[in-house]
Amino acid sequence: MKIGIDARVFRFSEYTGIPRYTLEVLKCWVRDYPEHEYYLLSAREICIPAGFGRNVHRIIYQRNRLRREKNVWWTAVDDVARKSWYFTELYGTIKALDLDVFWGCNFVLPLRKVPNVRYYVTVYDLAAFRKEGTAEEKNLRRLSALLPRSVSIADGIFSISDSTAKDIAEQFPGARDKIHTVYSGGFLDDMADLAYDTGQVRRELRIGAPFFLFLGTIEPRKNIPTIIKAFEKYLEKTKTDEYLVLAGGMGWKTESVTDALGASVYRERIICPGFVNEEEKKYLLDHTQAFVFPSLYEGFGIPILEAFAYATPVITSRVSSMPEVGGDAAFYIEDPLDADALAEQMIRVRASTRKEREERSRQMQCQVERFTWKACAERMMQVICGDMY
């Protein structure tokens, strides 16, 4: 079987979010289903790790001709054509390559379907439609224009949680029978063997005092001003000399975070190191008192599982998919915007007994083992093969 994949997500070498999801599924497919051929389709050069076998083909599209060289297909195209390629020229490429399946791994499908090719799309969340102010205007316009058409023409829709599947069915009732819940994986197996040298970790991360941690993109959905307010209330109640680390790259609409930091009387106890690499991430998760993640909405919540893998307590919101991922292992607040409740849970984590921590650790491991990339990729392939045959 020939499977085409929207490889535009691999434009950059940082594998986070959707690029990470797509890469992990591809790695499992190549390992567990080597009988298939996988075509990575893009109009720009892509960044993927070395080591994939001969059945993975990079197809870099350029107009009017296809030339193959060392498992890469090339053609000629200008910048204007690159931007419209997915919705115009890709049709011809899929047809020319005689694909059996096309996977739109980033919410949307091409506007036209090639006859006898089965199209699948992954919808990670509907935050743009369900939570006002959690999506950039350009993304909201893009999804509003393209998502209805994509779910309509798709032969199958992959949702990464039951919560998201429910949202899709409510938003697009006609697509209900095509939705397949395929839980995302969480912890990366290669992280277990990753070692860090404490001496190489940045000085501002080597905090002597206990600290709480947020790790993720700084954007409205992550509800960081509430974390700052809760931390202030926590310090006022406990009278301790602890820290808060807000680690992650800057996203969009960060003014509320900047304002909250500037207004905080505990600003000197809040560390903002920006983007952290995998070694630094592991160091922080190994040493923090708890991972604080009161997100307003998540399609799945991989960071919760990453924290669980290090037996790190997680405080999160009981909304959208978070209860599915956190199970009985997480500490919850009912209202993501309730800073008082978040502060109380921070105090609760700090006061946990050894027996309570051991029980939580056991529950965390159960959640990590439940959501694996192997199971995710296997279920997707079962759906695709079941539909094909």
Sign of the CA dihedral running 260, 257, 295, 130: positive
DSSP string, 175-223: GGGGEEE-----S-HHHHT----GGGS-GGG--SS-EEEEES-BSGGG-
Q: Give the Å distances, CA to CA, from 247 to 146, 183, 274, 280, 300.
A: 33, 26, 5, 10, 20
- Integer Cα distance of 308 and 321 in angstroms: 16
Look at residue 134 in the predicted model and tell me its pLDDT: 80
* Interval 288-347: pLDDT, tens: 999 999 999 999 999 999 999 999 999 999 999 999 999 999 999 999 999 999 999 999
pLDDT greater at residue 159 or residue 13:
159
Determine how many CB atoms are found less than 10 A away from the CB of residue 36: 16
CB 211 within 8 Å of CB 242: yes
Mean pLDDT for 350-365 is 96
The 3-state DSSP class for residue 138 equals helix
Stretch 155-174: mean pLDDT, rounded?
97
Tell me, what's the pLDDT at 234?
98
pLDDT digits (tens, 9 = 90+) for 68-117: 544 554 444 455 566 688 988 899 999 999 999 999 999 999 999 999 99
Closest by Cα among 313, 305, 315, 304 to 341: 315
Q: What is the pLDDT of residues 229-257, one digit of tens each?
A: 999 999 999 999 999 999 998 888 899 99
Residue 76 is predicted with a pLDDT of 45
Kindly write down the DSSP assignment for every residue of 59-83, as one continuous string: EE--EEEEEEETTEEEEE--HHHHH
pLDDT at 62 over 70: no
At residue 137, does pLDDT exceed 60? Answer: yes
What is the model's pLDDT at position 91? 93
Task: Read off the pLDDT band of 195 (50, 70, 90).
Answer: confident
For the entire predicted model, the pTM comes to: 0.88
> Residue written as tokens 């695709």?
384
CA distance 171 to 389: 30
